[in-house]
Every structure is written in C-alpha cells, then in structure tokens.
Structure 1
Amino acid sequence: MNTLPELTDALLTLDERVAVLTLNRNDLRNALTGSALIDDIVATADWVNQCDEVSVLVITGAGSAFSAGGNIRDMAERGGDFAGDVAECADRYRKGIQRIPLALQAVEVPVIAAVNGAAIGAGFDLANMADIRIASERAKFGETFLNLGIIPGDGGAWLMQRLIGYQRAFELTMTGRVIDANEAKELGIVMTVVPDDQLMPEAMKLATRIASQPPKATRLTKRLMKMAQRMELKDFLDLCAVFQGMSHNEPEHLEAVNRMLSSMGRG
C-alpha cells in the first residue's frame, strides 16, 4: 500500500522509507481547526500503519509556523469546531481534534516532529505527540490555553507531564508562557536545536538512520517502548519474549546478522 493518500491541506512524500508530512496552511499559520489538517493528519497516520514501505514519519510545517493550534477567529465567533452548547461542543472535540492524539498514539513507526516555527496550544501538543522533537532556533512553544480561558482539550495535560514531569508541565500550563527553543531543550521538550536552514537536513539525517534499521523489528520495538509505559515488568518481559521470538523468525534478522558477520570479517 505505497499509494499516497489524497490530502487537502498538507503535503506528503515518501522516499527511502521516510514519509514527510508538511502542514501546508501558512495562511492560517497551520491552525489545526478551521482547516482540513485534522483529517489529513489522521489519514496519514492510518496510511503509515498500512504501508510497509514506511519506517519513519516526519511532521513539519510550511511557512512561519509549525502550528498555531486552534483557530482563534472561530473561537471569537463561536463557529466551526467551537460552535454549540456544552454537549455539542464536546462532541465536536471528540469527533475533531481529539482524533489526532489517538491516531498518532497508534502510529507503529517512529515519529519525528521537525518544529520549524511557533508551536502554540494544540500545535505544541501536536509536537509532543511525536517520539522525538528537533527544533529550529526560531521555534517557540506555548501551552497557551488558559490565556484564552479554555483548557487543553486535545490531551495536552496528559502528554506534557509524561514528557517533562508534572511540576514543569504544570508551570507551563498554568502560566501559559511562551518559551524559546533553547529553553524547550533545557526542559527536555526538544532533543536538539539547530539553525533554521539545518532543521530538515538534521531531521532527515536522523530519520534516515532509523529507517536503515530492519523495518519489522523497528515497528515491534516502538510498540514495546510504548507498552513499557503502562505494564508491570514481569508482564512486559513475557511480551518481550514473544516479540523476540517473532523477530528471530523474520528473514530480516538473519540478513542483519550476516551483514554484521561480513563486516566483522572485512575488519
């Protein structure tokens, strides 16, 4: 299933097992609501899981922002995803933006967020849904929901504290302050900060390195990393034993072993 899905507001490429999803609504600063980006992200996540030719997914933004999160004009007008009474609004969240964390949580391959600019509100949370974040020097991050009198309705309060701990996540969420890329690195939100013109080369370098690993074992390893967060050690080790049995019986395992032996022989 290597046919790319048809997207409306995002661009998708696949080259050498690395898929790159570019949010492409610079006119809205890549806002997730008031655009088709929710559908595009969910469709891409579903496609990745069905496409054996993908080993890594990179998510980035076109233009000046990674993603500005929710569309503030729609909020002001109580329109779009923010229309209706309590029950209607809640239903819009469940059927709208909350599909993104569920879809990305289920992605079977490593996900890298290449944060090119402002990642604000739900855009910040989108970056935190990735496994690894690399930021441009001009990236900004803000859990700014309280500044607008709303709560992180897309799962941000669940995501960030698991990434950097409760206290630091609490402070960023309660103050709504916007931080630069260097502070984000100090807090452990991003792994690396690079000059703007080096963002995608660095992201692709890492993605290509991961994509060079045996693909089935890569997917199993990501599943283990995710499941380790919610399992007791004994149960987890039982699962590891099964996954390892699966790995030992895959042709890619023997191919990798023979490459290693060949390399040692040449040395």
Structure 2
Amino acid sequence: MGDLLFTVEGHVAKIVLNRPDQMNAFSKEMMDLWIEALVEIRDNPEIHMGIVTGNGRAFCAGGDVKAMINREGFLSKNSDDTDLRSTPLAVKNSLWKMIQRIPLLMDEIDKPMIAVVNGHAMGAGLDMALMCDIRIASERAKMGETYINAGIVPGDGGGYYLPRIIGLDAALEMFWTGKVLNAHEALDMKIVSHVVPHDELDNFVTKYCKEILKKPQEVVQMMKRIVKESQTMTLRQSLDYVSSQMAISVFHQGHEDALTELKSKFVK
C-alpha cells in the first residue's frame, strides 16, 4: 500500500491520501503519486470527475510537523540526496518542482473535482481542499490555516484560494491567528459547500456525483472553464468567451439529447 491510492470506477477517479498514522501529512511519494493521478484525470477522456479524500481520521494535515522539526520529509532531500534547505533558492525551487505542481495541474482540469473532507484539514491540507470545486465535509471535520504556528507562509496556493472564497479580511484573520474551525463554522464561512453526518458521508458523495454524471459532461466541463476564466476577465471578454462556448455547445450531441428529454417531458 502506497502513500496515495488512486482508483477509477464508473467514470469517477478517486485519490485517497494514505498515511493515516501521520494524519495523511505529505511525503515525497504522496506528492509524486498525486501529480501522476491529476495528469491521468486531466488527460483520460473516460474520467469525468475526480474525488480527493483521506484515509483514517484526517483529510490531510499538510506538512509533516515532526519531519519539519527533524529537518526531514519531502522538503528536505532531493532525489540525489542533496539538501533542499541549503539556500533560500533551493527551498523556492523545491516548492515549485513538487507541491506547487498540484494547484497548477488542478487549474488545467475542467472536470469537476470534489474534496471529501472526512476529518482534519490543516494548513496545506486545507489548501488542497480549497483547490477543488466543491468541498463536502463530515460533521467531524476541523479546518485551519495553521502555517503561523510553524512560522511559515502558505506555500501551495492558500493565499490565492482562501481570499477568493471567503474574502480578504476573513482570510487574513485565519492566516494570522491559525484558528481552527469546526465543520459548521466552515460552512457558515463558505469554506465548505456541504456538511454531512459522518456515517452518511459516503452515500451523500455517491448521490452527489451521480447527479452531475447524468448531465452532458462536455457542457459541465465548459461551464467550469467559463466560470474560472471569467474571474480574471472583463465583462466584455467574458461575454465574448461565452458566445464562443455557446456556439460549440449548441452543435454538440449533449444539447440534442437534452432537447429530446425536455420534449418528452413538456410536449404532449
């Protein structure tokens, strides 16, 4: 069993972080396998949706604190056993070559990505959930941007994602204080999309995914790209982009199938 498990079933890919004894804290093996899994989700046309979750009582604790204290872990040694902390530039490059590849790959995936936050999601672990489109949390989950407790900054995209979701002031407060939220507090702040009783989490996620999978998948993916690109566009640019996507979608089989279904429901 590796540090990350990857399976595909019924057009749904599942990434399971698999270091339960370390609360699914990062390892180099986990990072490497995570990157491979995201490339497969991005490039495999038979995969229509991705899920990220954790094994055990945590979603992801982010960096391995014990390894940090001992100067070990995935940010300590390169593949040739050289010290990644030898210079500031070495630290920067190690982030760029490893963990920062994950948000960059996530940004290239037009398919829905769902974070199933089964337990604790701390620091970079929370940021990994924020990279997903939808976050479904167990009522047992706890979440926090805890970098300040280790005296470091968010290195994998938290400073980008969190203020876009909850606003600048609320994001700064979370980063500055390291406050840990329970699932319902996270829901109130819109950090998560749904909170579900822990024993019902799997069934809820299965039903949720099935509803999206019923829809024309090409259009689902186009909608995701429209929403993401529009965040950095002017209104005119967004409308121009949307008109191009509409021109494609109305000639797509998914449109014809949808019209046929609507006709069967409403035309007597």
Place the TM-score, normalised by the shorter chain, in its bin. Answer: over 0.9
Kept in 2: contact 1:58–1:203 (CA 8 A): no
Decide which of 18, 22, 29 is 1:24's aligned counterpart: 18
Q: Extract structure 1 runs of 4+ deviating beyond 4 A.
A: none
Note the alpha carbon deviations across 1:193-216, whole angstroms, 9 max, x for none.
Answer: 111111121122111111111011
Correspondence 1:13 to 2:7: yes
Identity between Structure 1 and Structure 2 (%): 38
Q: Aligned residue for 1:261? A: 263
Q: Aligned residue for 1:101? A: 103
Q: In 2, Cα distance between the equivalents of 1:208 and 1:18?
A: 10
Q: In 2, Cα distance between the equivalents of 1:95 and 1:8?
A: 21
Q: What letter matches 1:98 in structure 2?
A: Q
Correspondence 1:20-169 to 2 at 5 A: 20-32=14-26, 34-80=27-73, 81-82=75-76, 83-169=85-171
Q: In 1, Cα distance between the equivalents of 2:54 and 2:212?
A: 21
Q: Aligned residue for 2:172? A: 170
TM-score where L is the length of structure 2:
0.92
Decide which of 195, 203, 206 is 1:204's aligned counterpart: 206
Q: In 2, Cα distance between the equivalents of 1:253 and 1:54?
A: 20
Aligned-pair CA distance for 1:156: 0.7
Stretches of structure 2 that go unaligned for 5 or more consecutive residues are 77-84
Q: In 2, Cα distance between the equivalents of 1:204 and 1:98?
A: 29
Q: In 1, Cα distance between the equivalents of 2:34 and 2:196?
A: 25
SS of 1:185's partner is helix
Q: In 1, Cα distance between the equivalents of 2:35 and 2:2?
A: 12
Kept in 2: contact 1:69–1:120 (CA 8 A): yes
Q: In 2, Cα distance between the equivalents of 1:52 and 1:262?
A: 29
RMSD: 1.5
Kept in 2: contact 1:78–1:84 (CA 8 A): no
Note the alpha carbon deviations across 1:127-185, whole angstroms, 9 max, x for none.
Answer: 11111111101101010001111111111111100010001111111001111111101
TM-score where L is the length of structure 1:
0.92
Q: In 2, Cα distance between the equivalents of 1:18 and 1:209?
A: 12
Q: Aligned residue for 2:192? A: 190
